[in-house]
Amino acid sequence: MAITRDKIIDFKNYMVNERHDQRIKEQMLDQEYLENRYPLKLIKKVDYQMRSNFATRMINGVTQQVISKLPKIYFTPKSDSETEMKVVKNLSILTNSWVKKLLEYPASPFEQNFKRICGRGELWIYTPHNSFLANYDGDWRKDYPNLMPVEWIFYDPMVVFADPSEEINGQPKRVVVWYKRTVGDIKAHYPKWTGASKKSDKNP
């Protein structure tokens, strides 16, 4: 039985307003330090206030030391058999080609996600199927060899609300991703959507 719209809304309200309420407040407080907006309660005069930007400089410094400019993926074979060695080689070639594609992003996702772990304390990566390739009739491996079969979506943890009581092997069964989007953005991604008509309207 499919879940109803009302149940989805109730679940969202519970996860956002109750279950994760304290976590979001803590992450918002952490963000104030990252953006150098934290209050200086003991120093009242603005002229004497000085913020060191230490939190951001510390995270940036650690990121530069830990994250390589050209990351590599390695696999350890389970045995010395010829078949296993061939599988490991093919996996290495495939995944490292994906790494090169990810490095073509305007900002390195490896650096940005490491900073997100340090700043938010968690990281969420969503990898749905590439919708174009999933609906492609031909052999995309030949026609589009440079495309990846999955898409990489890096959500800010502050818009992700997972139910920890339903985790299986560390993977939550239900996750709410909640944030406001413009009507034009929604229509571009979901052409059959028949919601608000004004472009200025926003809908979660």
Residue 83 domain flag: no
Range of the domain at 138: 5-67+108-203
Number of Cβ within 10 Å of residue 157's Cβ equals 20
For residue 78, tell me if it sits in a domain: no
pLDDT digits (tens, 9 = 90+) for 31-82: 998 988 888 888 888 888 888 888 899 999 999 898 888 899 999 998 989 9
The verdict on residue 128 lying in a domain is: yes
- Name the domain count of the chain: 1
What's the predicted TM-score (pTM) here?
0.76
| pLDDT tops 80 at residue 197 | no
Please return the burial class of 161, using the count of CB atoms within 10 Å of its CB with bins 0-12, 13-18 and 19+. Answer: buried
Identify whether 96 is part of a domain. no
pLDDT in tens, 71-118: 999 999 989 899 999 999 999 999 999 999 999 989 899 999 999 999
What torsion do the CA atoms of 33, 180, 115, 41 make, to the nearest 10 degrees? Answer: 0
Whole-angstrom distance, CA of residue 117 vs CA of residue 30: 12
